[in-house]
Every structure is written in structure tokens, then in C-alpha cells.
């Protein structure tokens, strides 16, 4: 589909007439390349997942990584946080974890005769919520205000969280014992949901060889692998440049068409007049905005100051799969494969050249 588009329309069709950020985009490419190289050296054989994870953070979104145990979810989260050079802390979510264990609590100080705030791990710049769906819904909801407003309320007092602020969460598939489904309102706060999947034979062989060699190295050798690559100041600059990436009206129309296909399919479910055989939830305006931001970040990673339909398609699955997911009662099991199928149906229902005439 994209090849057909590029045959009919030159890329200049999507480019801005006057570029004000191209120099800044190109100046950041060395750091972007180094970041991707570092991530891909840790998460072997998953370059696409590494690119999407970096795009999510550059777009100032929160990231959810879902997969089976032992697939590298926590490793990817740690690698992202460590190479960004931000203050971070990992919290292991369990069924007995309380909201106060995340946001913090006030305790009375006998010496000063005042209540003193003991900040929780949420006050870090990067929060690693490991196995988030093992905690109760009440504890999960403690993250909602922080993710949406970048602030928390403790004993009626609102505290601002440090900037930049990211939540990188991992979760096990829902059919695993001891898991609680994330509320839809919280799922929607995650810009992307990724699944790493099993590595191929060559990647797994290299991983085992590296593990053998690493046991013979000093601890400093392993730390060098996760050295800080993008500083906090550099990250802020990159995020600002991403917001200035040019988006043509044609790309905007394409994003709108994708959202409206899901909404039309949702409203026509069960109707005999339905012309779409897609059983999915509708994409909200927040989803459209997230899709646009993620596409800008992907263009930035590819050293462009303008967005192509390719960028929208590259991030569509990660941004929309958890938003299109149908109700658990309407399917035997919730899985990334099923969601990808839904996302693929939505993509195939919209023509890139004439998106509003789907």
C-alpha cells in the first residue's frame, strides 16, 4: 500500500514548505543511533520493539510491556531507564501492595510536631512498575492520577511530580494465575503496549553466549553496557523537537479515518446493515492524539522533520491494539495476536490515498 502511494505521490507532498527543525533533528541522530544500539545489544533480535519503546518515550508517553515471564520485559524497562540518565526506581507489584506503598504517606514527627511526607517511588522521573497486574485494582488506580496529571494527592495535598515523568510497566498475560486486569481508564493512559515475543534461534544463541561470557567479566563491564547515553537536558530538547515535527493535512485525514472506522464498526456491531466485520472498541480522541504524537517521534527517529503515512502504520499496532481490544466476555482469551488482527482489519479498511473515502 505504501509503495503504491509513493509511486503516485512524491514525498515532498508531505514535507513542510519551510523547515525550522531539520537541523535539530539531524543533530540528535548520533544520540538516537547510540541509544538504539545500546538497547538492541541488550534486547537481542528485537529492533522493532526497541524503536517503538524509544518513540514512546520521545513522544512523552507511558509504556506497557506485556508478555510471558522470562521474555525480557523487565530487562527492556531497566535498559530504557538506565540509558536515559534519569532518576528511576523499580517497584515489584504484588497482591498485598498498598497505594501508600507507591505514592507515599504522611507520618507525624514528634520532634517537629508536624506531619512529614515520606515520598513513594512515584516521585522518581522513571517509574518501573514490574508485573503491574499482580496488584489489586485499588493499588493499580494509584497510578492513574500520576500518569494523567503528573501529580499525586496525599492526605488532601497535591504534589507535583518531577519532569520528565515516565511510567514503564510490565504485565503478564491475563490467563496467568494471580493477575488482575487493568481498568480500561488506566490502559488508555499507556501510549503504547508492546510484546517482545520469543527470540529467533540466532538471537537466543547469542544471548546464551553473552551470558556465559558475562559471568567471567567484572561488574564494571556490565555497567558499561548500560552507560547513560541521553542526558536529561538532551531528552527535553528532543521531546520539544518532536512536538514541532510537521504533519500535513493528508496525514491528519489518515489518522482521523482510522479512528472513525473503529467507531463506525463499534456503533454497527450486531446490526444487519453493518458493512464492517470488525468487533472492536472505538478509538477515542485521546487515541488519535497518541497516534499522532507517536508518528512524530518515529519520523524524528528516522531523521525526518515531517510525518509520512509509513510512520502512522509503524506505530499503529503498539498505540491502538490495547484500545481496540474487545470485552473479555466476547472472546475466549485476550491475546496480542487477536488485537493485532483487529488493528490490521482497521488499517486495511482505510485507503492511504483517499483516507476519508473508506
**Residues 94 and 220 both lie in one domain:** yes
**Residues 225 and 84 both lie in one domain:** yes
Domain enclosing residue 6, as ranges? 1-20+244-358
**Residues 214 and 83 both lie in one domain:** yes
Helix axes 29-42, 73-84, angle to 10 degrees: 150
**Residues 45 and 74 both lie in one domain:** yes
**Residues 272 and 238 both lie in one domain:** no
Domains held by the chain: number: 2
**Residues 80 and 156 both lie in one domain:** yes
pLDDT exceeds cutoff 50 at 336:
no
Write out the E strands in 11-137.
62-66, 88-92, 104-109, 114-119, 126-130
Which stretch of 180-194, 232-246, 301-315 has the lowest confidence by average pLDDT? 180-194
CA distances from 138 to 97, 102, 107 (A): 10, 12, 22
Distance CA 15, CA 308 (A): 9
- Could you tell me which of 321, 252, 238, 322 has the C-alpha nearest to residue 55? 238
SS3 of the chain: helix, strand, coil, percent, to 5? 50, 15, 35
Distance CA 81, CA 127 (A): 9
**Most confidently predicted of 88-92, 173-177, 178-182, 239-243:** 239-243
Question: Which of residues 48 and 217 earns the better pLDDT score?
Answer: 48
pLDDT exceeds cutoff 80 at 17:
no
**Residues 286 and 216 both lie in one domain:** no
Question: What mean pLDDT do residues 1-17 have?
Answer: 57
**At which of 189, 222, 242 does a domain end?**
242
**Residues 277 and 173 both lie in one domain:** no
**Residues 256 and 285 both lie in one domain:** yes
**CATH at 1:** 1.10.8.80
Give percent above pLDDT 70 in the chain.
80
Tens digit of pLDDT for each residue in 263-282?
Answer: 886 676 655 444 455 667 78
Query: Which pLDDT score is estimated for 273?
Result: 46
Question: What mean pLDDT do residues 95-101 have?
Answer: 88
**At which of 213, 242, 271 does a domain end?**
242
Which helix (H) or strand (E) segment holds residue 159: the answer is strand 157-160
Residue 326 and residue 278 in contact, taking contact as beta carbons nearer than 8 Å: no
Taking the CB of residue 72, how many other CB atoms lie within 10 A of it?
22
**At which of 214, 242, 270 does a domain end?**
242
**Residues 127 and 226 both lie in one domain:** yes
Which stretch of 60-69, 182-191, 271-280, 318-327 has the lowest confidence by average pLDDT? 271-280
**Residues 221 and 335 both lie in one domain:** no
Rg (CA), the chain: 22
> Going by DSSP bridges, is the β-strand pair 151-154/157-160 parallel, antiparallel, or unpaired?
antiparallel
Q: 323 falls in which pLDDT band (50, 70, 90)?
A: confident
Query: Which pLDDT score is estimated for 178?
Result: 61
pTM for the model: 0.84
**Residues 208 and 330 both lie in one domain:** no
**CATH at 124:** 3.40.50.300
Distance CA 180, CA 58 (A): 29
Amino acid at each position: 500500500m505504501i509503495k503504491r502511494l509513493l509511486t503516485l505521490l512524491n514525498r515532498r507532498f508531505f514535507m513542510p514548505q519551510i523547515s525550522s527543525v531539520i537541523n535539530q533533528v539531524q543533530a540528535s541522530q548520533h544520540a538516537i543511533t547510540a541509544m538504539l544500539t545500546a538497547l538492541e545489544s541488550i534486547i537481542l533480535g528485537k529492533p522493532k520493539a526497541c524503536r517503538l519503546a524509544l518513540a514512546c518515550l520521545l513522544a512523552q508517553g507511558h509504556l506497557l510491556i506485556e508478555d510471558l515471564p522470562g521474555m525480557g520485559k523487565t530487562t527492556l524497562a531497566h535498559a530504557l531507564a538506565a540509558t536515559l540518565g534519569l532518576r528511576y526506581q523499580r517497584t515489584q507489584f504484588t497482591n498485598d501492595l498498598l497505594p501508600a506503598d507507591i505514592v507515599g504517606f504522611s507520618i507525624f514527627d514528634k520532634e517537629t510536631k508536624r506531619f512529614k511526607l515520606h515520598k513513594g517511588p512515584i516521585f522518581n522521573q522513571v517509574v518501573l512498575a514490574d508485573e503491574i497486574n499482580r496488584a489489586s485494582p485499588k493499588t493499580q488506580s494509584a497510578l492513574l492520577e500520576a500518569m494523567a496529571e503528573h501529580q499525586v494527592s496525599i492526605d488532601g495535598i497535591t504534589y507535583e511530580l518531577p519532569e520528565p515523568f515516565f511510567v514503564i510497566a510490565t504485565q503478564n498475560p491475563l490467563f496467568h494465575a494471580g493477575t488482575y486486569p487493568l481498568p480500561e481508564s488506566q490502559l488508555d493512559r499507556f501510549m503504547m503496549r508492546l510484546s517482545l515475543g520469543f527470540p529467533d534461534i540466532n538471537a537466543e544463541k547469542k544471548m546464551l553466549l553473552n551470558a556465559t561470557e558475562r559471568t567471567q567479566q567484572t561488574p564494571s563491564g556490565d555497567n558499561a553496557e548500560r552507560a547513560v547515553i541521553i542526558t536529561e537536558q538532551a531528552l527535553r530538547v528532543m521531546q520539544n523537537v518532536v512536538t514541532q515535527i510537521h504533519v500535513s493535512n493528508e496525514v491528519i485525514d489518515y489518522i482521523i479515518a482510522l479512528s472513525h472506522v473503529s467507531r463506525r464498526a463499534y456503533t454497527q456491531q450486531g446490526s444487519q446493515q453493518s458493512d464492517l466485520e470488525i468487533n472492536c472498541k472505538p478509538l477515542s480522541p485521546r487515541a488519535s492524539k497518541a497516534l499522532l504524537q507517536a508518528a512524530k517521534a518515529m519520523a524524528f527517529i528516522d531523521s525526518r522533520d515531517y510525518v509520512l503515512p509509513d510512520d502512522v502504520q509503524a506505530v499503529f499496532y503498539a498505540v491502538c491494539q490495547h484500545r481496540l481490544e474487545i470485552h473479555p466476555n466476547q472472546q475466549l482469551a485476550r491475546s496480542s495476536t487477536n488485537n493485532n488482527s483487529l488493528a490490521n482489519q482497521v488499517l486495511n479498511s482505510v485507503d492511504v490515498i483517499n483516507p476519508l473515502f473508506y
